[in-house]
Structures are given as structure tokens and as C-alpha cells.
A and B are shown apart, each in its own frame.
Chain A
Amino acid sequence: MAIFVFLSFVLFVLGLSFYLGSKTKTSSGYYAAGGQIHWAVNGIAFAGDYLSAASFLGICGMIATAGYDGFLYSIGYLAGWIVALFVVAEPMKRLGKYTFTDAIDSKYNSRGIKLAAALSTLVVSICYLIPQMVGAGVLVQPLLGLDHYWGVIMVGAIVITIVATAGMASTTYVQFLKGALLIVFSTVLVVAVCLRGFNPRPDQGGRVPFHEPVVLAAQGEGAQLAVTDPGWSVVEVKGVPAAQHAFARLNRGGQETWWLVDAGPAGTRLVEIQSDVATPDGRRLINGAPASKDNALRQVGNLESLRGDTEMPRGAVSPVGLLSALSDRDTRIRRWKEVRFGDADGAKVTAYYPASTPGNLFMRPGLKFKVQGTPLEKFDFISLMLALFLGTAALPHILIRYYTVPSPASARKSTIVAIAAIGFFYILTLFMGSGAAINGVLNPADSNMAAPLLARSFGELLFAVISAIAFATVLGTVSGLIVAASGAVAHDFCDRFLNLGMDDRTKIRAGKISAFVIGAIAIVLGILFKGINVTFLVGLAFAVAASANLPAILMLLFWKRTTAKGIVASIFVGIVASLGLILFSPELYKLYGLDPASAPVPFSNPGIVSIPLSFIALVVVSLLTPKRAPGEPARAARR
């Protein structure tokens, strides 16, 4: 069923691309869909373009594992559209032709701007492509039973086909279709969650038996730890500062498993956890037994109590009732955390352990972003919120959608349709994420699959449809990104910067070749970045976009003293500063396998430093350079 729905959707999308491709004969048709898309269609296509894997997979996953902190992304992503609508939409439409570079360069005709803006488009698009490809890989594992890299390769191949056949025209209709379907079926999923209500032992409608972690009584601590039940023996006890807990390796009947040491006032007890152990001789053990199709990590996430009641009321609940009950301080949600350490035999252990979280903490910021933490942690939070607010209006693949409508008024109206559609979807994410947190559907090793796995708990049909839409979500966004990136290479760099004098046919061919190369790069990066939460990666792409592009856009519109060299300096400083801060941040150090505490940059979100630096660079260089290069005519004079 799932495979049939999925393949039908993919074939339909490809058929549509070939049909539209047969009608695309000009570069305007290829890069901007002829500038004749209706504003309402463009608005939903905006939603399809914008609601990427980060929104559907990443945000829902982060809400499911870190509560309200995931919803901060929904708020920030939506708020960014305010800047896009009120400040950027109409001027971008008025100034540009095919790409963001056209608009930025419209008053200057500067080779430096062409190069800088094309490079910026390429960098931001690739930063944004990585999480989409990671999301694609995550999706195919439960859907088609294929490895992560096959999902990445499939998306890459399909998207290259879509973009290379018809460019922006097919991309627009794929995005329109996917945007509409995503909103409709996310609503269906939220209704299903509310109809199911609460269950302390969620069993996915009887499909997957609920497993309550076993608890063993113990005495002593450290090396003296002993299990009361004589059938168990302690092999080793490992203190893990990163988890602020100790873990015990126990042996029973020759099988070794890991347990959480919980030393409370009532005595010591050992709580069953899940583990993924890579032994020095190359074996992989899940919960003490060899990993196999039948021995995988159990799905987790459930309510321990609802308003203090462990035998909670069953039956349907209203949307407000759902959030209200989850916010209660006497509600307790069992989340699962992850920590990695080495054991005494040299094996690498990844432990997944339960953490009981009160509802009042789950439903407000603080579990991931430490708003009550150190000044540095607060600084990181401000930086994230700033980048999300300013990033949307600077994303090249979003900005090019302003060139697909016939007028500035249409650009404005399509943005409003986008805000309505995207805002509604983001409200749904809070219900989908919290629904996944309490319905026993989460894969403890990968939060990105929260929404599709929640759908599977309601049956294979909903899972098939939601997965096909999630896959289309990746297709739609990746198509837009590859159109933007190929436009930067073929149109901005080859045609305008190198001044190759390309005709319409050559421009289209160059765009298609660029799409192929960029798609191939995206496939490689998608495989390399496997396992990272996709919304976190997109948050970083927003920071790069806000740093590299937004100062140039705003100052071009609002500061008459802005010069071409100022814009070039701003873009380069924005790219270098944001990427530099990200590459040496604690989160990336984790990815490199290094100690995050040793990262030279002490925070993970660079926007609060890199965005002002980019503005400063623009102002200083503009003040130091003449307004217009000698001999360079004004645009008005040319007309």
C-alpha cells in the first residue's frame, strides 16, 4: 500500500514535469515560469517551497523530543514572512528578473555584486539542501525498507529530472500540489490525534504492544553496586557527566544490557534503558542482542500521568484540551534522551534513557534552549530567534518565486496566501509533535520521523499518504533550491559575470547542466550528514542567508549611500562570518566527534554576531567608496 501510493505520486510528478517541459522554450519560462503564475497558485507554491523537511519532519520531531522549543522554529519561520511581505516582496519583484542577484545588482551593474550574490545563493542553497536530503534518506527507511543513502540518491535523481525538464514551471506545480496536500493531510493527522485522546500505555491502536521499562532494586553505589535479584550481576558501572547519570552494565544468562542507575532518597534502583553498542570486533548489539530486522530499538514516548492521574480518562479530546492537559504541572511526559560513551571493553555505547518531564516544562521554552541558563546560553537563544526572523526574506529560493507572478501586487497577494497557509500548518506542528511525544511512536535514535511514525500508528493508508507527501515535501523544496542554485551558476555567473553572451537555448542548457551538478553535490552531502536533526541544520542555513543577503537587500532599499563595493563586502563578510562561526561551534564539534566544550566558538547560532558584522561592513565600505564608479551610468539614464 505504502509503496503503491508513494510510487503513484512520484510517477505523477514526473509525468507533470515532462508535460510542462515540452512547453518550456524560453529562459524566462525555465527560470521564472514565464512570470505568469496566478498569485493564489504562487501563494500555495510558496508554502510548498517553504514547508520543507525541516518544517514537517524536523519541527515535529523536535517538539516530540524537546517540547515547546521545537515550536520556537515554527514561530520564527512564520514571523520571517512579515519581513518578506512588508519590506521585500514588491521591491524584489520590481527590481529583479530571474534571480536574487538581478535585484541586488539592478542599480549598479557591478561584476563584484554578480559574483558575490551568485556565490551567496549557491552557499545558502547548499546549506539548505543538506537537511532536505537528510530528510529524504530518513523517509525511505520505514517506507521502502531501503538504506538512508538510497533515499538521498532517489530524491536527487527525481529532482534533477524535474528541474532539468521544465525548470520553474514544473517546480511551481509540484510545490503547489505538495503544499496543498501537506496542509490537508496534516489536518487529518491532528484530528486523528485528538480523536484518539490519551493513553498511559499507547499501543498504536493494538499494533505494537506497549513496553514499560523494567525497574530492578539495587544496593550500594559505584563499584559496590549490586542488584537485589541474584539472577543479575553487575559487570561495570560507568559515570557519564554529559548525562549527569551513571549507567550499569548487567549480565544475566550471558546477555549484557545497560541500565540507568537512579539513586534517590528511597534507595537505589536500576531502570531499563535501550542501547546500541558497537563492539571492537565489529558487531552491533541492540539492547544486548545482535541487531537485526526483528531486533531494533523500541518506539518510545508516552504519558506517565495526566494531571496527576496515572489512569487517565480515555476518549476524544479537543485541540485546546490536548494542549491544556499537556501543559499541566502534574502531567508527566516520558521523554527519551541520548548519550554516548565508551565501556571498559572498548565498545562504543549509545544509550537511550527515559526522563520524566513535567508538563509545565514541556510546554514552554527551556528544554533545548536554556532560557534560564548561562548568559551564553541566553545569547544563543536570542541569536536563533534573530536569524529565524530575518532569514526568510533572504532565502534565494524563496525570493525567486516573486519573479513567477505578473506584477508587484501579485507578489504581495501571493505572500499573504503563503502566510495564511504556512501559519496554519505551523499551528498544526504543535499538535503533531506533542501527539508523537505521547503516542509511543518515536524512534529514540532519530527524531526526524516523528510525524510519519505518528501517522503509521493510525494505519498503513495514512502512513503511506503522509510519507508520500513528506517525500514530495522534500522534492518540492529541493527543486526550488536547485532552480535557485542553477540560476546562480548559469544565469548570474556564466551569463552575466563571465559575460559569455549566451542565447536563450544556451542559457537553458547551462541551467540544466548546473542543476545536474548541484544535485549530485546535494546527494553526497545528504549522505554525509545523516542523523542530524534537519530543523537545526535549516536554522543554520537561515543564519547564513540572514547574514549574507539581508543587509544588502535592506540597505539597497533604504540607504541611498549604499555602494556596489559596500554590498560586495557585506555579502562576503556575512558568508565568511556565519559559516566560520558555525564550523567552529559546539554543535558541529559534536558532528566531528570532538568534545563540544573544546569548540573555539562557545555558541551554536551565529546570527547575532554575523548579521551586525555584515551591516557594519556594508556601511563602512560604502562610506569609503564613491557612490558610483566613474563612467558607470545610472539606471534611469539608460532607460
Chain B
Amino acid sequence: MFHEPSVSAGKDPAQNYKMRLGVWMVLSYSLFYAGFVAINLLRPMLMEKTICGGLNLATVYGFALIGVALVQALVYNALCNARERKLDVPQAPAEGR
């Protein structure tokens, strides 16, 4: 007995593109995140250095990790939408069984 999805999504010709794009985006964000961890371990004193507006590197880097996540998410969505439009992927599939 196989178990079908709750709604039928239909075939998605943009699937491979989105998967590749997602992997590259995760890898690039991972490097940014790893940089934060690495500075804390290798040069922790650097984290208390004032960077801008009186804020130290720890605060700026922490906020940047949150901000960059949102920017990447928006870019990813825009690129996926563009590819789905180009390949005419249905956005509102028929309701499941």
C-alpha cells in the first residue's frame, strides 16, 4: 500500500533547477555561518571589536546572519517564480483525492 501526497502537485519541470539552486544557496549560507563559528573559536577577541554605529562584530555578524537569510530567501523565491513562469508550472494544483 503506497501512500500518496495529500494534494497532487503534478509534474514540476522546474524541480531540478530549484533543487540545484537550493543546494548552492545552502552551501553559500553555510560558509557565512561557518565564518561566524570560526571567528568565535579562532579569534574570539575580534568579536568585541566595534564595527559600525558603536556595535561590535558579534552583534553586526549576528544580525547579518538573520538579514542575509531573509535576503537569500527572497532571491530564491524570485528565481523559482521566474523559472516556474518560464516553464509554465501550474501554481494552484487540483485538490487532492
Chain A residues with CB under 8 Å of chain B are 28, 32, 35-36, 68, 71, 74-75, 78-79, 81-83, 85-87, 90-91, 93-98, 102, 105-106, 109, 320-321, 323-325, 327-329, 360-361, 363-366, 371-372, 378, 381-382, 385, 389, 403, 406-409, 412-413, 415-416, 419-420, 423, 426-427, 430, 496, 499, 557-558, 635, 638
Contact = CB atoms under 8 A, between A and B. Distances in A.
A81 B22 CA distance: 12
Given A75-B66, A382-B41, A416-B73, A105 B33 contact: no
A407 B93 contact: yes
Interface string B80-93: 11001000010111
Contacts, number: 173
A71 B66 CA distance: 11
A324 B22 contact: no
Contact of B5 (A96, A323, A366, A638): A96
B1 A499 contact: yes
3 A-B pairs closest in CB distance: A324-B54, A86-B22, A364-B47
A638 B26 CA distance: 34
Instruction: Please report whether the interface of chain B is mostly helix, strand, loop or mixed according to DSSP.
Output: helix
B56 A79 contact: no
Contacts of A93: 5, 9
B26 A381 contact: no
B44 A78 contact: no
Interface of B: 1-7, 9, 12, 15, 18-19, 21-23, 25-26, 29-30, 33, 36-37, 40-41, 44, 47-48, 50, 53-59, 62-63, 65-67, 69-70, 72-74, 76-77, 80-81, 84, 89, 91-93, 95-96
Residue from B26, B30, B47, B73 having most chain A Cβ neighbours under 10 A:
B73
B33 A87 contact: no
Given A320-B54, A321-B54, 20 more contacts: A32-B6, A68-B58, A68-B59, A75-B62, A85-B22, A86-B26, A86-B29, A93-B5, A97-B3, A105-B3, A106-B3, A324-B54, A325-B54, A327-B56, A363-B56, A364-B58, A406-B93, A407-B92, A408-B9, A409-B80
Instruction: Please report whether the interface of chain A is mostly helix, strand, loop or mixed according to DSSP.
Output: helix
Contact of A426 (B3, B18, B53, B66): B66
11 contacts: A79-B33, A86-B21, A93-B9, A97-B5, A109-B2, A327-B48, A371-B41, A415-B73, A416-B70, A423-B66, A423-B70
A635 B1 CA distance: 10
Contact of B72 (A82, A323, A378): A82
Contacts of A81: 69, 73
A105 B22 CA distance: 23
A3 B95 CA distance: 44
